[in-house]
Amino acid sequence: MTTPRGPVDSSRIPRFAGPATFARLPRLDEVEQCDIAVVGVPFDSGVSYRPGARFGPSAVREASRLLRPYHPGLDVSPFAETQVADAGDIACNPFDINEAVETIEHAAGELIATGARPVTIGGDHTIALPLLRALSREHGPIAVLHFDAHLDTWDTYFGAEYTHGTPFRRAVEEGIVDTEALSHVGTRGPLYGKKDLEEDRRLGFGIITSSDVMRRGVDETVDALRQRVGDRPFYVSIDIDVLDPAHAPGTGTPEAGGLTSRELLEILRGLAGTRLVGADVVEVAPAYDHAEITSVAASHVAYDLISLLALTQRP
Ligand SMILES: N=C(N)NCCCC(=O)O
Ligand SMILES: [Zn+2]
Ligand SMILES: [Zn+2]
């Protein structure tokens, strides 16, 4: 393997200068081959409440300038051990959700076909569906760990099938996820009715609520999730609203009583050694953020996901 091209050296070019790529990594077109691709999807036409996640990718990239090359918690230098690059944004039609979903599926499929594993920055949660479609073509029906305050297994909103509240129901209907290994983590807040939970269970999801994480703690949560995915290839989808609004105010549908960013990062670190094949971080809406609280959290979450992917590549 050729030596990976890493981020700009922050001892020579200060972090507030230089490229606006994720973690100041090279762009995809600057590297010969890419193992892990950070890709933005600035799409938020699927939201049911506050808009603004279309500005998520650029805010998370901006907040990622301070990331450093070595991850002490996982003992990995992801940018040195693998080639990580910024694949830019998937430009999709903000006025036509169906067309946007197709565009995302196609662009993600092309990226995955090159051998790169995607870490996608949203965008609203609608984008998880086309990403899962693209990944399932490579891996078959895929296990999913879904971190979110919300179930996102509702049926339709105002008659629309593709929205940020419905991607995981569509994914089950389409047979692109492994219904033996689906789990929500961090769920909380009011629902439309008890049937939401019944239907969710029928679709195959297990739930570790936000209260479960608080009562059982990180280690038990990690054990349960590791058991759920086993040695299957799996996908992690992180809606930043899984964090408490104190830790992630910059999001469109905030719910009280969420995880701390420390809990979320520790749970992710607990997944070291499993077969992660791709991930997303969605629903960062910078207009409601303060002091980059949300985008800093999201950039660290993305860094941990990249680190987990890098670990899977060790001989
Ligand atoms: N995926 C996110 N963030 N939110 C879904 C909320 C659906 C609702 O408005 O009930
Ligand atoms: Zn959510
Ligand atoms: Zn969501």
How many beta carbons lie within 10 A of that of residue 95, not counting itself?
7
Is 96 a known ligand-binding residue? Answer: no
130-141 pLDDT per residue, tens? 999 999 999 999
Decide if pLDDT at 235 tops 90: yes
Say yes or no: CB of residue 253 within 6 Å of ligand 1: yes
Q: How far is the CA of 71 from the centre of ligand 1 (A)?
A: 32
Decide if pLDDT at 52 tops 90: yes
Say yes or no: CB of residue 244 within 6 Å of ligand 1: no
Which atom of ligand 1 is the closest one to the Cα of 283? 3
Say yes or no: CB of residue 150 within 6 Å of ligand 1: yes
Which atom of ligand 1 is the closest one to the Cα of 241? 3
Tokens of 91: 């430009």
Give domain 22-312's CATH architecture.
3-Layer(aba) Sandwich (3.40)
Residues surrounding ion ligand 3 at CB below 5 Å: 125, 148, 150, 152, 239
Section 264-272 average pLDDT: 98
Say yes or no: CB of residue 289 within 6 Å of ligand 1: no
**In terms of residues, how long is the chain?**
315
Q: Do the beta carbons of residue 122 and residue 283 sit within 8 Å? A: yes
Query: Whose Cα sits closest to atom 5 in ligand 1?
Result: 165
Say yes or no: CB of residue 70 within 6 Å of ligand 1: no
Q: How far is the CA of 157 from the centre of ligand 1 (A)?
A: 10
Section 50-56 average pLDDT: 98
Is 152 a known ligand-binding residue? Answer: yes
Mean of all residue pLDDT scores within the chain: 98
Q: What confidence score (pLDDT) does residue 276 get?
A: 98
Query: Whose Cα sits closest to atom 10 in ligand 1?
Result: 165
Buried b (16+ CB within 10 A) or exposed e, 131-142: bbbbbbeebebb
At residue 118's C-alpha, the angle toward residues 117 and 123, to 5°, is: 170
179-209 pLDDT per residue, tens? 999 999 999 999 999 999 999 999 999 999 9
Of all residues in the chain, the percent with pLDDT exceeding 90 is 98
Q: How far is the CA of 283 from the centre of ligand 1 (A)?
A: 10
Q: How far is the CA of 14 from the centre of ligand 3 (A)?
A: 35
Q: Three-class SS string for 48-104?
A: CCCCCHHHHHHHHHHHHHHCCCCECCCCECHHHHCCEEEEEECCCCCCCHHHHHHHH
Say yes or no: CB of residue 49 within 6 Å of ligand 1: yes
Write down the ipTM of this complex.
Answer: 0.97
How far apart CA 202 and CA 26 sit, in angstroms, is: 44
Say yes or no: CB of residue 170 within 6 Å of ligand 1: no
For the chain, the structural domain boundaries read: 22-312
Is 239 a known ligand-binding residue? Answer: yes
Say yes or no: CB of residue 35 within 6 Å of ligand 1: no
Q: Three-class SS string for 165-223?
A: CCHHHHHHHCCCEEEEEEEEEEECCCCCCHHHHHHHHHHCEEEEEHHHHHHHHHHHHHH
Q: How far is the CA of 207 from the centre of ligand 2 (A)?
A: 14
Say yes or no: CB of residue 152 within 6 Å of ligand 1: yes
* Res. 2 pLDDT band, cuts 50 70 90: confident
Q: How far is the CA of 152 from the centre of ligand 1 (A)?
A: 6
